[in-house]
Amino acid sequence: MPTYRHPGTTITDHSFRVPLDHADQTGEQIQVYAREVVAVGRERESLPWLLFLQGGPGGRSPRPVGRDGWLDRALDDYRVLLLDQRGTGRSTPADRRTLPLRGDAAAQARYLAHFRADSIVRDCELIRRELLGEDGRWSLLGQSYGGFCTLTYLSYAPEGIREAFVTGGLPGLGSTAQDVYRAAYPRVQRKVEAHYTRYPEDVETVRAVVRHLREREVRLPGGGLLTAEAFQAIGTVLGTGNGTHTLHYLLEDAFLPGVPDRQLSDSFLADVQAHLSYASRPLYALLHESIYGQRSVTPGATGWAAQAVRAEFPQFDVDRALAEDRPVLLTGEMIYPWMVATDPALAPLRETAELLARREDWPDLYDPRQLAGNEVPIVAAVYHDDMYVDAEDSLATARSVRGLRTWVTNEYEHDGLRVSEGRVLDRLIRLVRGEM
């Protein structure tokens, strides 16, 4: 196990072999990577472990340099394990290069069906037993989708958990994918309208960009097709604390100045690509709607729910907004079928994505009865204005989990854990200890 040092920390690499399908312990194995981080000078101490479950799906764990961000607070009390969930980071990859090696699209879809929260939790349990022993318990910190995984963990393996912290990630236990997006579009609209109120000049800039994209074909530096609808997805940045400013500065550079034939600038296109490409996280696009699939909630397919529900919100239609001289609304954390076709990182997986969207009878991810009788101390930060996770769903779930305490705040957006320099985590630690 390679060990090295960063300023104030000692880091150890871990690699684990786990079953692809936990129902078949003797079948195919895949690799899961994790990074152990401990404060310098405390390497030999018997510290409690804190497992960090990253947001996503399909997001790799943070790559820390020293005691930065929330990690600085965590290292005061814990030995931290940063997990690259299966299919991400240094774990066995699942992308446009590796998935075709599995066989045809049907084989690829069957493979990816093992990459949801239920499999991630079972990976964690094998890792826990290897690192802590059969009776060892660790603490969980789940950010966003990591919070979804935490509720799955509490449902099916609570005996492995000492305490749990959730930031911006309490899922609706009984919400379908359609329910999620039906609640999401109005939240996104409010964020976009707030942005236009702050930066009114951006209304015309966005309109000019989408008119430009309607009139000609525009390619991103990596070859992806930038359509008007694809550009609308840039609104996803508005769910972060500095997102409105990030979007404004991006729009400032939209067009090249002093050029007779109006053209979008290379710097603008490069920035747009950085926000919209799924090259570094293909599982986010491929599995995003499946994280809401549960047979006890709906036995049917998720069926490109964001696209289907969008028809109920005609105010997001680009051409209608242009024709009626209204501001063009941007979209948020939605995955549409055309994204797979226009992104070079996803295009080879179009049929696979379609099969996943059509898949029915997804196994349940939560056990409401187990959660109602929960005995694990758990606290959660619920962001009142969260664009990505519905606060009402989160609070309903909080009421359904025995003993769960919430901190509801609009001081931070969805990325509060990352940007608060440890303050969000510190408050949750004090809350779970009964100090607040």
Which residues are tagged catalytic?
Answer: 144, 361, 414
Contact 54/85 with Cβ under 8 angstroms? yes
Look up tokens 């991006």; give the residue. Answer: 250
Is the distance from CB of 112 to CB of 24 less than 8 angstroms? no
3-class DSSP assignment, residue 333: coil
Burial of 152 (0-12, 13-18, 19+ CB in 10 A): buried
Name 165's bridge partners. 141, 379
Pairing of strands 79-84, 49-53: parallel
Cα–Cα distance for residue pair 363/347, rounded to 1 Å? 27
Angle 273-93-341 from CA coordinates, rounded to 5°:
40
Q: Which two tokens stand for residue 269?
A: 């296109």
Amino acid residing at 320? R
Q: Quick check: 153 and 124 in contact, CB under 8 A?
A: yes
Query: What is the rounded distance in angstroms from the CA atom of residue 124 to the CA atom of residue 122?
Result: 5
